[in-house]
Amino acid sequence: MSALADLMSTTTPRPDPRGCDLPTCPVCADSMIAAEASAYLADNAISYLWTCDTCGYGFVTKHTVKGRFACN
């Protein structure tokens, strides 16, 4: 099954989506539970790839992270 992908930019007050911030599919309005993939970007941002399990529509969201990442 192939999926179309659109880039949808979002601005959130928190660095990562929580339960109430999870997107719904813009095509069929199905709830999205988990992103298919994520990537840390150089500009203190994280992008998430979402693909709808119901209709196959795909889109990307980008969230800006305030602060620095710390790895142990």
Q: What is the pLDDT of residues 31-48, one digit of tens each?
A: 888 899 999 988 888 999
Q: Number of structural domains, the chain?
A: 1
Asked whether residue 19 is domain-assigned, the answer is no
Percent of the chain topping pLDDT 90: 31
Please indicate, yes or no, if residue 32 is contained in any of the structural domains: yes
pTM (predicted TM-score): 0.61
Is residue 20 a part of any domain in this protein? Answer: no
Q: What are phi and psi of 12, to 5 degrees?
A: -125, 150
* Short-list 7, 9, 12, 8, CA closest to 65: 12
d(CA 26, CA 52): 9
Per residue, the 3-state secondary structure of the chain, as one string, reads CCCCEEEEECCCCCCCCCHHHCCECCCCCCECCCCCEEEEECCCEEEEEEECCCCCCEEEEEEECCCCCCCC
Domain boundaries, position 34: 1-12+28-66
Flag whether 18 is in a domain: no
Position 21 in a domain? no
